[in-house]
Structure 1
Amino acid sequence: MPYRRLPNTDQARIKALSMALEKGDTYNPIISLNTLSEARSFLSRFKVARAYYKQCLENQVNSSKKYQGNVKNARLYISHFIQVLNLAVIRSEIKEEYKDFYGLPRENYSVPDLSSEVSVLEWGDKIIAGEKERLRHGGVPIYNPTIAKVIVHYDIFKEGYECQKNLQNITNRSLEKLASMRGRADEIILDLWNQIEKRFENLSGEERLNKCREYGVVYYYRTGEKKPE
């Protein structure tokens, strides 16, 4: 015997509610007016919540494409600046102890790990502050890239980082709102389906199932169970 199963996606929930309302909203309703009224009101709010989440997610994804380019540029300029600084120290053009201004270990001439966005933020701040401090001590500015060029790309990245985090938070909140409604959606669908099946309980076999299907009830056949021709 086929068994019914509640929808497990938001689109399927909307379809189930819509079909029940479309067929049930007649002059001879088989679903109680209270249930129809609640389902209609809930469906409207659920659609709005789902559409808002999809829009938030789309905004985040679209923004991310440009943002990733900004991350790449900031990482490149910070890395390049550190490499030039280290080479200048190796050539004794800059005193080794001045690396302390940047938070860089004196004996280590490798570029710090910049794989994460947080590390780009951290080292961007350190490099900018360190170069300003070295210049304050009478140091000669580093060129190719200049610290001004690094700052430009770092500021663009930092602004994008904050914007992206904000978009992520908005998307997460919209998803939480949508997720909080799913339980109630399932309860309403279950109530609708129970009333629909109750109305056609006197019909036999496949005729009863087909009538219920017209109102959106979904049935599944078990493995090995023979489907009617």
Structure 2
Amino acid sequence: MPYRRLPNTDQARMKAIEMALEKGKRTAFSELAFDALTLEKIQTLYPRLSNSIRQLQASKQIQFDRSNEYGTIFKKAKLYLSHFVQVLNFAILREEMKPEVREFYGMPSHSAKVPPLNLENDVLAWGERIIAGEQKRCMQGGSAIYSPSIALVKVHYENFKDAFHHQKILQNNVDRATLKVKEMREDADALIQDLWNQVEEKFSDFPSDQRREKAQEYGLVYVFRQSELKKMEAEKLQTNLSFN
């Protein structure tokens, strides 16, 4: 016997509810396979679930649309910070500055390594240190570094910081919408299961083929196992051979 398969995607959930609603509109209540309370519940749930799914899709799309621009801003901030440190190291290598000046930027004086800038939090932290360090060094009489200047580095750093916080807001919107849809899915799954149980109970006295046919009009989904499909194909083939 085929088994009943409950919806496991949002699209399938919406379809199941829509079919039940449509059946409720076109069928006299005395002939409907589920009770009035269930009809009322699906009428209430349907717009809430639909709106929640649309909100989640919209939130994800907005975040996706911004992702390429955000990635470009992130890379530009990393590039300017990295170049600034490299220029600083070249000045030290040429003995125009002493190695100790690295300490202004929170870097060890003995190391010419560029700080790690692969992660967003790295760029946020090192950006603050490098900008503050250059300002402090210059205030104590040091010559400003150019190509890039700290002012230009700061522009790209601030652009990234703003974009980072905006991206966090977009992610929070997605997270809230995802949680809302998850809650709605649980409500929808419980309601659909109850609805389908009522439908199957209503037609329980019918022969199996007719029972499934009537239940499918209410949105129920039945799946044949592989062995059952093979058996049906064999029976169909045998029937065709008998007629030939």
Shorter-normalised TM-score: what interval?
Answer: over 0.9
Q: Structure 1 residue 58: deviation in Å?
A: 0.9
> What's the counterpart of residue 12 of structure 1?
12
| Cα deviation 1:196-228 (Å, max 9, x = unaligned) | 112222221222211111110011112311347
Moved more, 113-122 or 203-212: 203-212
**2:239: which partner in 1?**
none
Q: Find the counterpart in structure 2 of residue 147 from structure 1.
A: 150
Partner of 1:97: 100
Match of 2:194 among 191, 197, 201: 191
Cα separation, 2, equivalents of 1:195 and 1:139: 82
- In 2, the alpha carbon distance for the partners of 1:96 and 1:110 equals 12
Q: What is the letter of the counterpart of residue 51 of structure 1?
A: R
1:1-229 matches, cutoff 5 A: 1-25=1-25, 26-27=27-28, 28-226=31-229, 227=232
> In 1, distance between residues paired with 2:186 and 2:55?
19
- The size of the alignment, in residue pairs, is 229
Contact 1:73 1:153 in 2 (8 A): yes
Q: Report the Cα distance in structure 2 between the residues aligned to 1:105 and 1:225, rounded to whole angstroms.
A: 72
Q: Secondary structure at the match of 2:227?
A: coil
In structure 2, the gaps of 5 or more residues are 237-244
Residue identity in the other structure for 1:132:
Q
Q: Is the 8 A contact 1:24 1:30 kept in 2?
A: no
Please report how far the alpha carbon of residue 29 of structure 1 lies from its aligned counterpart in structure 2 after TM superposition. Answer: 2.1
1:59 CA displacement:
1.0
Secondary structure of the 1:225 match is helix
**Under a length normalisation based on structure 2, what TM-score does the superposition of the two structures give?**
0.90
Structure 1 stretch 27-36 or stretch 131-140: which is displaced more?
27-36
Gaps of 5+ in 1: none
Q: Distance in 2 between matches of 1:128 and 1:63?
A: 27
Post-superposition shift, 1:133? Answer: 0.7
Deviations 1:119-178 (Å, cap 9, x if unpaired)? 011111111001001101111111100001100100000000000011101110110111
C-alpha separation in 2, matches of 1:104 and 1:187: 58
How many Å separate the matches in 2 of 1:216 and 1:30?
12
Once structures 1 and 2 are overlaid, which stretch shifts more, 24-33 or 172-181?
A: 24-33
TM-score by length of 1: 0.96
My pick for the range that moved more, 53-62 or 24-33, is 24-33
Report which of the two has the higher share of helix.
2
Task: Give the distance between the partners of 2:203 and 2:32, measured in 1 at CA.
Answer: 13
Report if aligned partners of 1:113, 1:119 keep a CA contact under 8 Å in 2.
Answer: yes
Check whether the contact 1:23–1:215 (CA below 8 A) recurs between aligned residues: yes
What percent of counterpart residues are identical? 45
Inter-partner Cα distance in structure 1 for 2:177 and 2:147: 45
Contact map agreement 1:85 1:142 (CA 8 A) in 2: yes
Secondary structure (helix, strand or coil) at the match of 1:224 reads: helix
Question: Which structure has the larger Rg?
Answer: 2
- CA distance in structure 2 between the partners assigned to 1:65 and 1:18 by the alignment: 37
